[in-house]
């Protein structure tokens, strides 16, 4: 029977298992925090790609599994990869995910060593735009390896956190959450006015600014103006929110206008029906956060994209998600919800303005 390793949220244990059971019957062979190895029927990756999963982020098929020894650690990993049916004519990359590294090698060390040896054997390595992915997941001195064409995978990379770290500006690691969420929502060439709720310290505003948006950042706390130094930033008081909106409309280039206020004090942003995307990472209870979005709904275009993190005070994620959806559904069409690897303790909600 085929084996798979599954990336999930460690926090929501019960929910992740229930979601997986809705796809198939399975037997758990190994696990460590957010990754576990299962034995299940064939075609599980295809089933998962078609399902609207929340807690299971990605599933990769296992082609080989070996026990590792400290003396021949790298050799054991390399031998496992060599057993895979790698097509030498297909450009590929090799990735390693190590969930409990206590052996002196980083995942990067392993990738460089194994990747270089594969390249020496005539396998074409393409790190930027591969057509296939060879991978190893290391759990409890075991190596699980696999190989697949990229189009057959749920995700074109093994380790999302390292993938998105390339775009990290240094303001806040929360930036990684938004980079990941923007890829999931597929905003395409959409540009214009963006609203960032709970903007401090400015990481999400910076991401939107770099993508060409004119950003209205709303938060009573300061942004990290020093690290936003290369951006065009203007600070406004809550009493001048309409003036901030008018400035945004007149601007011909990306800008971040920071309104030092909470949403409850803002009655007129001066951008009626103009914002095409609103992002919300407010560090408050989920229902209050959702109501904050509704307070600004008159500033949003029809089909405006909403990306919002749902904070779960307890592990009863279904409860918080259900209430949050109910608050938003009169004004937004919920598209999907997902626990992202950069955001394992929260659920990211994606919706569009009706």
Closest to 349 in 3D by CA, of 305, 304, 314, 307: 307
pLDDT for the residue 255: 93
Q: What angle do CA 281, 295, 310 make, to 5 degrees?
A: 30
Closest to 146 in 3D by CA, of 31, 45, 21: 45
Residue 147 to residues 2, 47, 137, 212: CA-CA distances in angstroms? 14, 18, 12, 37
How many angstroms from the chain centroid is the CA of residue 248?
28
> Is the Cβ–Cβ distance between 317 and 344 less than 8 Å?
no
Query: Can the peptide bond before residue 202 be classed as cis, meaning omega within 30 degrees of 0?
Result: no
Q: What angle do CA 149, 154, 158 make, to 5 degrees?
A: 75
Q: What is the DSSP letter of 253?
A: S
Considering the domain architecture, whether residues 208 and 299 belong to the same structural domain is answered as: yes
User: Last residue of a domain, which of 112, 144, 162?
Assistant: 162
Considering the domain architecture, whether residues 9 and 106 belong to the same structural domain is answered as: yes
Considering the domain architecture, whether residues 213 and 231 belong to the same structural domain is answered as: yes
Considering the domain architecture, whether residues 306 and 331 belong to the same structural domain is answered as: yes
Q: Check which CATH number belongs to the domain holding 260 and give it.
A: 3.40.50.150
Q: What angle do CA 103, 107, 109 make, to 5 degrees?
A: 85
Regions of the chain where pLDDT drops below 70: 101, 314-315
SS3 sequence, 106-152?
CHHHHHHHHHHHHHHCCCCECCCCCCEEEEEEEECCEEEEEEEEHHH
Strand stretches in the chain, DSSP E: 3-8, 26-32, 35-40, 56-62, 64-67, 92-98, 132-139, 142-149, 193-197, 214-218, 233-237, 256-260, 275-280, 300-311, 332-338, 346-353
Residue 63 to residues 81, 86, 247: CA-CA distances in angstroms? 9, 11, 57
Count of structural domains within the chain:
2
User: How far is 228 from 181, CA to CA, in rounded Å?
Assistant: 21
User: How far is 170 from 147, CA to CA, in rounded Å?
Assistant: 33
Considering the domain architecture, whether residues 71 and 169 belong to the same structural domain is answered as: no
Q: What is the DSSP letter of 31?
A: E
Position of tokens 């103006």? 225
pLDDT for the residue 101: 67
230-278 per-position pLDDT tens digit: 788 888 887 888 888 888 899 989 999 999 988 888 878 889 999 999 9
205-241 per-position pLDDT tens digit: 999 999 999 999 999 999 998 888 878 888 888 788 8
Considering the domain architecture, whether residues 176 and 154 belong to the same structural domain is answered as: no
Considering the domain architecture, whether residues 126 and 196 belong to the same structural domain is answered as: no
Q: Check which CATH number belongs to the domain holding 96 and give it.
A: 3.30.2130.30
pLDDT for the residue 337: 94
Q: What residues are paired with 83 via a beta bridge?
A: none
User: Last residue of a domain, which of 141, 162, 183?
Assistant: 162
What is the phi/psi pair of residue 120, to 5°? -65, -20
Question: What is the DSSP annotation of 170-216?
Answer: SS-THHHHHHHHHHHHT-TT--SEEEEET-TTSHHHHHHHHTT-EEE
Considering the domain architecture, whether residues 141 and 195 belong to the same structural domain is answered as: no
pLDDT for the residue 345: 80
Order across the sheet with 193-197: list the strands: 233-237, 256-260, 214-218, 193-197, 275-280, 300-311, 346-353, 332-338
pTM: 0.90
Considering the domain architecture, whether residues 158 and 170 belong to the same structural domain is answered as: no
User: Last residue of a domain, which of 135, 162, 189?
Assistant: 162
Considering the domain architecture, whether residues 309 and 168 belong to the same structural domain is answered as: yes
Considering the domain architecture, whether residues 310 and 261 belong to the same structural domain is answered as: yes
Owning domain of residue 292? 164-353
What is the phi/psi pair of residue 258, to 5°? -95, 115
Q: Locate 288 and state its tokens.
A: 């209050």
Considering the domain architecture, whether residues 200 and 154 belong to the same structural domain is answered as: no
């Amino acid at each position: 029977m085929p084996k798979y390793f599954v990336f999930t949220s460690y926090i929501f244990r019960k929910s992740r298992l229930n979601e997986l059971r809705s796809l198939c019957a399975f037997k758990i062979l190994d696990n460590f925090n957010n990754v576990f190895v299962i034995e299940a029927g064939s075609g599980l990756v295809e089933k998962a790609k078609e399902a609207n999963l929340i807690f299971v982020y990605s599933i990769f098929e296992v082609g080989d599994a070996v026990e590792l020894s400290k003396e021949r650690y790298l050799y054991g990993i390399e031998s496992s990869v060599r057993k895979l049916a790698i097509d030498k004519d297909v450009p590929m990359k090799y990735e390693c995910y190590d969930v409990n590294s206590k052996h002196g090698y980083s995942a990067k060390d392993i990738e460089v060593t194994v990747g270089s040896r594969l390249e020496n054997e005539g396998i074409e390595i393409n790190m930027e735009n591969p057509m296939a992915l060879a991978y190893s997941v290391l759990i409890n001195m075991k190596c699980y390896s696999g190989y697949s064409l990229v189009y057959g995978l749920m995700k074109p990379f093994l380790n999302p956190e390292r993938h998105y770290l390339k775009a990290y500006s240094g303001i806040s690691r929360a930036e990684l959450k938004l980079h990941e969420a923007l890829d999931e929502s597929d905003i395409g060439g959409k540009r214009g006015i963006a609203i960032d709720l709970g903007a401090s310290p400015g990481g999400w505003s910076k991401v939107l600014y770099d993508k060409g948006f004119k950003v209205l950042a709303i938060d009573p706390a300061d942004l990290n103006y020093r690290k936003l130094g290369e951006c065009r930033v203007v600070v406004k008081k809550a009493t001048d929110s309409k003036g901030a909106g008018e400035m945004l409309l007149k601007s011909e280039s990306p800008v971040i206008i920071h309104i030092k206020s909470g949403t409850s004090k803002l009655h007129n942003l001066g951008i009626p029906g103009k914002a095409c995307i609103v992002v919300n990472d407010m560090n408050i209870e989920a229902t209050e956060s959702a109501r904050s979005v509704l307070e600004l709904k008159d500033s949003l275009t029809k089909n405006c994209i909403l990306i919002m993190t749902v904070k779960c005070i307890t592990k009863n994620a279904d409860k918080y998600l259900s209430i949050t959806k109910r608050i938003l559904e009169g004004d937004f069409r919920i598209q999907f919800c997902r626990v992202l690897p950069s955001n394992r303790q929260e659920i990211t909600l994606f919706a569009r303005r009706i």
